[in-house]
Chain A
């Protein structure tokens, strides 16, 4: 494990990530989710299906992916953009270790901000730790993991990681995912919903994949994205001054 996870890289990454102004955005989707939940709880206290709608639809298509996008982009993309990554890479630390450590940090932060807010909002909505709340929390943890693998790969592969990530979240998952059922097989949001729905079945979640499909596809996407990110960082190059 010590070869894959580097405590020093994790510490630098955490300090640098939380030290940027962008860190203020980490909690923004979470705050909106909790505020909307509080407002709905106050106005619709007795309606049974709104918790799964707000926590499932809004939580899994907006809060988790956008939090992961901002966090995943910060732990690697921001360091590549400002050049500070050089100080990590100009050491004998394996670049695969840099990727895995940053992935772990980003996933942890996303779990705290996004999955944590799902749990808090769920507790507010239902008033107790129901099976649905815990299922959504588990799905959010899974979503945090897979989304970060994808967004870290994008950060290593392109300088426009945030734009490409937004396109994926808003157009592929948000738009096409609702109209074209085949798109769901390549939708991280549906992998997470598939896990949540398997734990506490609820038709309001609009889960489009079985547990097996969600887990297998989620694992494939995570592993493939991380391998690609390692390969890209291993070939990380600085562009010089062209004549």
Chain B
């Protein structure tokens, strides 16, 4: 049972604050670190993995300080975002070298186990330079897991993977989390985090915007006010009808149709269909106009 603890952790580069006063505890299981690009996720992972000192605050891995402490790598595995491996080595050589660097008692058995775990036995004797992105990612996982660490950190592990490779990686992380390991991965894609983790930490602009059970945060995300652009065969009649519905908080006639503000995404989508049918109005266009991840994160931050 390994735990990562951050208390008031801040990191700045000159005048730019990358991570701002983050306090969180990450325990066993799979935790997703969710946030838009540039939010500070990688900075957090680099600090947790001992590759960056916090400018302020304390950060411990199983009670030990991470920075300037190579001993933490005996119980921690890291898979960085950059697709950088020793391409001249074969998969087996790469994993075996890592096992030797960890001074494992049975290098051969540990190497075989790690390669088997990521289902790379068939390609393990090929040079890494011949691997696909997904295969390179899996061999990196094998190397990071060869010493059987209790903690695994992955920075954007699904970047560049095709859907099949994503599913394989997700299954693997699921399995590792179920074994009681502490798995922390970063992603800017909501669906990846939704599929994988029960617990998420949402980072926006360097700050911890939300933390806890994924379902509760997902509800918060879907029940926020939404703005839709609507075009129909009778915008005035539709607008007047929509105003009578409790899920609608405002309607504005624009040059291109209607701009509708709704308090409940699901209720609005159901009600507009019913109203259109009732008044014999043809819906020509219905577009959510603020569905970018950034706007979702901004709402979470504001709430």
- Other-chain residue from A84, A89, A94, A237 in contact with B86 (beta carbon distance below 8 A): A84
Do A240 and B86 touch across chains, with their CB atoms under 8 A apart?
no
Q: Contacts A92-B73, A238-B46: A9 and B80 contacting too (C-beta < 8 A)?
A: no
Residue of B nearest to A82 (CB): B84
- Other-chain residue from B18, B76, B101 in contact with A240 (beta carbon distance below 8 A): B18
- Other-chain residue from B38, B53, B88 in contact with A243 (beta carbon distance below 8 A): B38
Question: How distant is the Cα of A11 from the Cα of B85 in the complex, in angstroms?
Answer: 15
Which chain B residues border A240 with CB–CB below 8 Å?
11, 18-19, 40-46, 52
Q: What is the interface of chain B mostly: helix, strand, loop, or mixed?
A: mixed
Do A84 and B84 touch across chains, with their CB atoms under 8 A apart?
yes
Which chain B residues border A84 with CB–CB below 8 Å?
84-86
Which chain B residues border A8 with CB–CB below 8 Å?
97, 100-101
Do B101 and A88 touch across chains, with their CB atoms under 8 A apart?
yes
- Other-chain residue from B37, B76, B84, B101 in contact with A86 (beta carbon distance below 8 A): B84
Q: Contacts A240-B42, A242-B16, A243-B206: A95 and B51 contacting too (C-beta < 8 A)?
A: no
Is B273 at the interface (CB under 8 A from chain A)? no
Is B82 at the interface (CB under 8 A from chain A)? yes
Number of interface residues of B (CB under 8 A): 49
A102 to chain B, nearest CB (A): 14
Question: How distant is the Cα of A19 from the Cα of B44 in the complex, in angstroms?
Answer: 33
Do B70 and A91 touch across chains, with their CB atoms under 8 A apart?
yes
Which chain A residues border B143 with CB–CB below 8 Å?
87
Number of interface residues of A (CB under 8 A): 33
Q: What is the interface of chain A mostly: helix, strand, loop, or mixed?
A: loop
Do B52 and A238 touch across chains, with their CB atoms under 8 A apart?
yes
Which chain A residues border B97 with CB–CB below 8 Å?
8, 11-12
Do A243 and B82 touch across chains, with their CB atoms under 8 A apart?
no
By a beta-carbon cutoff of 8 Å, the part of chain A in contact with chain B is 6, 8-9, 11-12, 15-16, 18-20, 82-84, 86-95, 234-243
Q: A86-B80, A90-B51, A92-B102 are in contact. List 15 more A-B contacts (CB 8 A).
A: A9-B101, A12-B86, A87-B143, A90-B144, A92-B74, A92-B101, A95-B70, A234-B68, A238-B52, A239-B52, A240-B42, A240-B44, A241-B41, A242-B38, A242-B40
Do A235 and B18 touch across chains, with their CB atoms under 8 A apart?
no
Do A241 and B86 touch across chains, with their CB atoms under 8 A apart?
no
Do B89 and A15 touch across chains, with their CB atoms under 8 A apart?
yes
Do B78 and A86 touch across chains, with their CB atoms under 8 A apart?
yes
Residue of B nearest to A91 (CB): B101
- Other-chain residue from A20, A83, A94 in contact with B70 (beta carbon distance below 8 A): A94
Question: How distant is the Cα of A215 from the Cα of B302 in the complex, in angstroms?
Answer: 66
